Copies of this chain bind each other. A is one copy, B any other.
């Protein structure tokens, strides 16, 4: 099946306790698309400026990502984000956010992008997300990510947008903030009442939890010796997740969602091993499958697979 992602395409400047990069390819749609590309045909929708060059396109194209709907704005500059992580990588400080071409972005999807089977609305302003969703009435499954900023500044719009998707990705603080419920179980139930059939709660270094009508599934994160740069982990997670679903025929079922969570966790774990997209760029499908097998071993209460 085909998969369209709408989100940011960016240059990031990132400093972590383990090094820094002054300018590297980033953005939610980019991290998502590279991760999803291991499983599905992916189309990226988003704006870039003149400074977005062949080298950047090549990173996407070499992984087979379709870039036809990347809108290049003449005279514009690509979205730029600069941030820094503390020694505790869960704590992030944003130093610079230059929206640039993203400030005027009004998504116009080509027929090919509209015709995708799966749609992912990466973390952008919820009105924009909803207008994208409305352009794709026939998708089999729509997923959405958001952030604390939109919960604080555009809650009503966000709730309306959430009502139109099947699968919500959010981190645990955001899920609590959105619902004002103290436990994830209650928060997830409340979000499902808003519309989505499935709620996936991202928990950073602790893993992820999935709630749907059939119950609960949770996975720890992969126990890495070194986490170099967490930027894009959540989008890589969603990319591996929806990318895997896109590789399956037929209806999405609960068993498929469990495998999708695991592939999402695999891709997120590789993403954070190096800066930006550096690790995923040279990742192989074999490495993906090896780590998937690791996840099965490290989570088995009984009957650990060989």
Query: How far in angstroms is the closest Cβ of chain B from A19?
Result: 13
Query: Which of A3-11, A40-48, A154-162, A291-299 forms contacts with chain B?
Result: A291-299
| A53 at interface, CB cutoff 8 A | no
A96 to B220, CA, bound (A): 36
Query: Which of A99-107, A121-129, A141-149, A210-218 forms contacts with chain B?
Result: A210-218
Residues of B within 8 A of A262 (CB): 301
Stretch in A182-190, A234-242, A275-283 with 4+ CB within 8 Å of B: A182-190
Segment touching B, from A55-63, A130-138, A222-230: A222-230
- Flag whether A219 is at the interface (Cβ < 8 A): yes
| Residues of B with C-beta under 8 A to A258 | 300-302, 304
Number of chain A interface residues as a range = 35 or more
Which of B186, B217, B226 is within 8 Å of A298, CB to CB?
Answer: B217
User: In the complex, what's the smallest C-beta–C-beta distance from A45 to chain B, in angstroms?
Assistant: 32
Query: Which residue of B has the minimal Cβ distance to A218?
Result: B220
The count of identical subunits is 2
A203-B206, A255-B304, A304-B255 are contacts. A223–B17 as well, Cβ < 8 Å? no
The residue from B184, B218, B298 contacting A216, defined by CB atoms under 8 A apart: B298
A209 proximal to B (CB < 8 A): yes
- Name the residue on B nearest A265 (C-beta): B301
Q: A207 at interface (Cβ–Cβ under 8 A)?
A: yes
- Which residues of B are found within 8 Å of A203, using beta-carbon distances? 206
Instruction: Pick the residue among B87, B88, B220 that contacts A220 (CB under 8 A).
Output: B220
Please name the residue on chain B nearest to A16 by beta carbon: B182
Cα A16 to Cα B220 with chains together (Å) = 28
Report if A89 contacts B (CB, 8 A).
yes
In the complex, chain B residues whose CB is within 8 Å of the CB of A302: 255, 258-259, 296
A299 touches B301 (CB 8 A): yes
A300 shortest CB reach to chain B, Å:
7
Query: A205 to chain B: which residues have CB within 8 Å?
Result: 184
Contact present for B183 and A225 (CB under 8 Å) = yes
Chain B residues with CB under 8 A of A215: 297-298
